[in-house]
């Protein structure tokens, strides 16, 4: 069989296979499938074969046109899957970071003009072309960090026109950029300033006008709600998500990030695709996620970056059998965009085992955005999205935090970061 690209000389190929139908949970997150001295053959942007080098080289025929990627004794893992970002935004909030490290609290920063409203104003004022340029830069950044599939939320428009405009930019980016992009509508991110004192009107606008408009243009697959004190109540969130479901948008919930808001309970009641954050979720509410198959998406970079040291009980969730994924939450106040760094934080602050962190950043993250049928593991027929990392074992990944261990990024069968090694 002639092939387009061959990756060989890997100390191990961690395929993370076996979780395409249902996410990995419990002990299965620790026991990842891998192949020592492995190779991966790629044809037409898909994985054609994966196995031991000798088997693969006997089975497939590299031609003079075949690109050879020599892993140099490093490891090969699936391209990382990022299931929760807000990376399409304008303006910088670095000054809020400076205030925070100087000791200012959330309320003080808000009183001095910080917060979501500031990003909304900056993002609304940009042309589609200028916003797309920012999106392209952020997508290049995360691709170089090994993220080949990325979920991106709207939510810095907060009017029908501005939300639609952001989602149209995402659609344009998904046509132009190599990254796989999954779009989520987050009109219920905050009550915009012009609706202050009229929150019910805004909830009606999101549910009755924005959701149908987003669905009509097929601009998003998911609808998310910031269910939190000061944002949207459980009942408001339920109303928006139920309407979104009727329009074919699957539910996600920002749940229990800053307090026990009831978001996780709502997610399990409505059978949401994912419940995200869960910093304050009780074990009882967490175990209700298991029955509905809701993925727990944990975001340790947010409390880390915001100096709010309350982390989700990742260890407890995994031990309860909840399918757990990781994400960065890359947004204007938290600049962490690296899934590898998030894997480190999950080990350090949530007591993940390194193998669990990799499962959570690949196949389980793919389930959180309904891409597990085509991404998240190295199996024949899936998208040829994979990384060569300059470590000897996947168990070393979180140890080398802060070092760039990404040697090569392959997206849909093409080397998009790091040069392919010279032939032979």
The residue (of 85 and 145) whose beta carbon lies closer to Zn ion is 85
The residue (of 24 and 250) whose beta carbon lies closer to Zn ion is 250
Phi-psi region of 286 (alpha: psi -120 to 50; beta: other; left: phi over 0): alpha
Shortest CA distance to 14 belongs to which of 387, 419, 398? 387
The residue (of 25 and 252) whose beta carbon lies closer to Zn ion is 252
Three-class DSSP category at 45: coil
Q: Across-strand partners of 142?
A: none
> Binding string to Zn ion for residues 318 to 357, with x set by CB under 5 A, is what?
-----------x----------------------------
Tell me the closest approach of the beta carbon of residue 84 to Zn ion, in angstroms: 6
Two tokens at 65?
């046109």
Tell me the closest approach of the beta carbon of residue 122 to Zn ion, in angstroms: 18
Tell me the closest approach of the beta carbon of residue 21 to Zn ion, in angstroms: 27
Tell me the closest approach of the beta carbon of residue 152 to Zn ion, in angstroms: 11
> Binding string to Zn ion for residues 285 to 324, with x set by CB under 5 A, is what?
----------------------------------------
Taking the C-alpha atoms of residue 103 and residue 97, their distance in angstroms, rounded to an integer, is 10
Site for Zn ion in 183-242 (CB under 5 A): none
Q: CB-based burial of residue 1 (10 Å sphere; 0-12 exposed, 13-18 middle, 19+ buried)?
A: exposed
The residue (of 148 and 333) whose beta carbon lies closer to Zn ion is 333
Shortest CA distance to 74 belongs to which of 339, 411, 404, 381? 404
The residue (of 332 and 376) whose beta carbon lies closer to Zn ion is 332
The residue (of 41 and 278) whose beta carbon lies closer to Zn ion is 278
Two tokens at 357?
């962190």
The residue (of 70 and 329) whose beta carbon lies closer to Zn ion is 329
Shortest CA distance to 345 belongs to which of 366, 364, 370, 326? 326
Tell me the closest approach of the beta carbon of residue 163 to Zn ion, in angstroms: 16
Q: Across-strand partners of 275?
A: 253, 296
Q: How far is CA 250 from CA 84, 169, 243, 289, in A?
A: 14, 21, 10, 16
| Closest CB to Zn ion: residue number | 329
Tell me the closest approach of the beta carbon of residue 254 to Zn ion, in angstroms: 5
Contact 185, 152 (CB under 8 A): no
Taking the C-alpha atoms of residue 67 and residue 20, their distance in angstroms, rounded to an integer, is 28
DSSP secondary structure letters along 358-419: HHHHTHHHHHHTT-TTTSSS--TTSB--EEEESSSSGGGGGGGTTS--EEEEEETTEEEESP
Tell me the closest approach of the beta carbon of residue 276 to Zn ion, in angstroms: 6
The residue (of 329 and 385) whose beta carbon lies closer to Zn ion is 329
The residue (of 225 and 343) whose beta carbon lies closer to Zn ion is 225
Two tokens at 361?
């950043």
Radius of gyration of the chain (CA): 21
Tell me the closest approach of the beta carbon of residue 329 to Zn ion, in angstroms: 5
Taking the C-alpha atoms of residue 132 and residue 115, their distance in angstroms, rounded to an integer, is 22
Site for Zn ion in 82-141 (CB under 5 A): none
The residue (of 13 and 296) whose beta carbon lies closer to Zn ion is 296
Using CB under 5 A, count the residues that bind Zn ion: 1
Three-class DSSP category at 336: coil
Tell me the closest approach of the beta carbon of residue 59 to Zn ion, in angstroms: 44
Tell me the closest approach of the beta carbon of residue 263 to Zn ion, in angstroms: 12
Give the binding site for Zn ion (CB under 5 A).
329
């Amino acid at each position: 069989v002639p092939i387009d690209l061959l990756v060989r000389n890997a100390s191990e190929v961690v395929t993370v296979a076996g979780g395409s139908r249902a996410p990995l949970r419990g002990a299965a997150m620790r026991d990842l499938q891998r192949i020592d001295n492995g190779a991966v053959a790629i044809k037409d942007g898909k994985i054609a074969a994966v196995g031991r080098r000798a088997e693969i080289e006997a089975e497939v025929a590299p031609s003079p046109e075949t690109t050879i990627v020599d892993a140099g004794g490093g490891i090969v893992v699936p391209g990382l899957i990022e299931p929760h970002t807000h990376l399409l935004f304008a303006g910088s909030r670095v000054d809020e970071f400076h205030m925070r490290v100087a000791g200012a609290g959330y309320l003080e920063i808000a009183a001095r003009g910080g917060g979501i409203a500031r990003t909304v104003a900056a993002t609304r004022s940009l042309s589609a072309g200028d916003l797309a340029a920012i999106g392209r830069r952020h997508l290049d950044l995360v691709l170089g960090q090994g993220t080949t599939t990325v979920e991106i939320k709207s939510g810095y428009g907060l009017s029908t026109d501005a939300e639609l405009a952001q989602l149209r930019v995402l659609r344009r980016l998904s046509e132009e950029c190599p990254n796989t992009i999954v779009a989520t509508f987050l009109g219920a991110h905050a009550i915009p300033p012009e609706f202050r004192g009229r929150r019910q009107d805004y909830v009606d606008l999101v549910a009755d006008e924005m959701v149908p408009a987003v669905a009509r243009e097929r601009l998003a697959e998911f609808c998310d709600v910031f269910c939190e004190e000061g944002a949207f109540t459980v009942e408001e969130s339920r109303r928006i998500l139920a309407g979104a479901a009727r329009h074919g948008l699957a539910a996600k919930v920002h749940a229990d990030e800053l307090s026990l808001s009831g978001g996780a309970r709502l997610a399990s009641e409505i059978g949401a695709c994912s419940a995200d954050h869960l910093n304050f979720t009780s074990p009882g509410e967490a175990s209700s996620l298991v029955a509905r198959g809701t993925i727990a998406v944990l975001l340790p970079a947010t409390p880390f970056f915001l100096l709010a040291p309350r982390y989700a009980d990742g260890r407890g969730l995994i031990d309860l059998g909840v399918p757990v994924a990781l994400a960065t939450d890359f947004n204007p106040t938290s600049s962490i965009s690296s899934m590898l760094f998030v894997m480190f934080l999950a080990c350090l602050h949530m007591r993940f085992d390194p193998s669990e962190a990799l499962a959570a950043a690949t196949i389980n993250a793919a389930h959180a955005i309904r891409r597990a049928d085509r991404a998240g593991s190295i199996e024949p027929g899936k998208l040829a999205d994979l990384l060569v990392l300059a470590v000897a074992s996947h168990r070393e990944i979180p140890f080398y935090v802060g070092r760039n261990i990404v040697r090569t990024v392959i997206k849909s069968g093409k080397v998009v970061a790091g040069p392919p090694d010279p032939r032979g």
